[in-house]
Amino acid sequence: MAKIADCWARAIESFSAGKFVDANLCGAAQVMLQNNPLTGLLFLAGIAWGAVSAGMPQVAIGALVGLVGATGSATYIGVDDPSLRSGLYGYNGLLIGVALPTFLKANPLLWVYLVFGAAVSVVVMLAIANLAKAWGISALTSPFVLTTWILLIATHGFTGLRILSLPQPGFPQIPVAASAPALDGEWVIRAVLLGVSQVFFIGNVVAGVIFLGALVVSSIWAAAFALAGSMLAIIVALAVGTDLNAVATGLFGFSPVLTAIAIGTVFYTPQPRVVVYAIMGTIFTVIVQAALDIAVMPFGIPTLTAPFVLATWLFLLPRRDFAPVRHVVGSGGALHDN
């Protein structure tokens, strides 16, 4: 593996386009807080698989357009090189590129809207990173969440952009106690893998496996915490009695997956007290997910990864020193993983 990485490093340095490709691949990897071009490549492969399987190739195209659009905009605006290279200006654009064609119908205006949104995500990333660095925390996926919320709410008032699967603004339906589901092994494995794949708004078991594999390439700990986070989320969601269909399709899992990776492996070094802290943060993320699911209903938008951002910020802000912070906070206030 080290040899391949070394070979890759020499190859990308030899020509400028290589550096740009590398920045984009790392941008894809940063969605799960990794800084590894191969991980990013596999993430893109998983997105492509999931999108094509669902008959929505525009989602995969959107991911690529958003990623390159954001990285290109960052180059034009002139951000610092190390942050650009580690993908910190690409991941929000990729997620916007996945989210917009998922929730809106693809038409020419959508693509203009998507590229504009990707460019704005760079400005919002710079803005939030500037705010966040005062407390030594990272922007996480908040630039994606804020930008996409604005882009999606606005479409409720636009006739030029049509809604595909966005909920209408309304009040929550009170849940009724569901009859006990067939919680067999297959149900559990599917739900766990979908929890991982939904990080990219993809509901596909194979994509979930690819994403886990991509994490293994970068960090075995990250993969382990992702898997454990998805499992823990299912246990908690069943214990409190949430909508079973949402649990089965991974919708309660993706934010806890990200929280588990972030608290357990990226900002702290794994050790017993960190594990307790990460478990607590992951459980709290499930509750925040349920709360935000209700809170966003009047606005006709999905929560996106806001539960991850809110819970993880609350658990990073105390800056507990029970574990040395392994990762360097970059100039943009966001994380590096060298």
C-alpha closest to that of 31 among 41, 22, 40, 23: 40
Report in angstroms how near the CB of residue 125 gets to its own copies at its nearest.
Answer: 8
Report in angstroms how near the CB of residue 201 gets to its own copies at its nearest.
Answer: 20
Tell me the C-alpha distance between 216 and 211, whole Å.
9
* Residue 31 per-residue DSSP state: G
For residue 209, CA distances in Å to 110, 117, 253, 258 come to 30, 30, 15, 16
- Under the rule (CB under 8 A), what is the footprint of its own copies? 77-78, 109, 113, 116, 119-120, 123-124, 126-128, 130-131, 134-135, 149-151, 153-154, 156-161, 168-172, 174-178, 239-243, 280-281, 283-284, 287-288, 290-291, 293-295, 297-300, 313-320, 322
Tell me the C-alpha distance between 126 and 336, whole Å.
15
Report in angstroms how near the CB of residue 180 gets to its own copies at its nearest.
Answer: 12
Residue with smaller CB distance to its own copies, 7 or 178: 178
Residue 165 φ then ψ, to 5°: -140, 25
Residue with smaller CB distance to its own copies, 65 or 122: 122
Structure tokens at 15: 């020509």
Residue with smaller CB distance to its own copies, 95 or 202: 95
Residue with smaller CB distance to its own copies, 94 or 122: 122
Residue linked to tokens 């070394």? 6
Report in angstroms how near the CB of residue 188 gets to its own copies at its nearest.
Answer: 19
The residues near 8 (Cβ < 8 Å, ≥ 6 apart) are 37, 38
Report in angstroms how near the CB of residue 144 gets to its own copies at its nearest.
Answer: 14
C-alpha closest to that of 258 among 215, 204, 205, 207: 215
Residue with smaller CB distance to its own copies, 110 or 217: 110
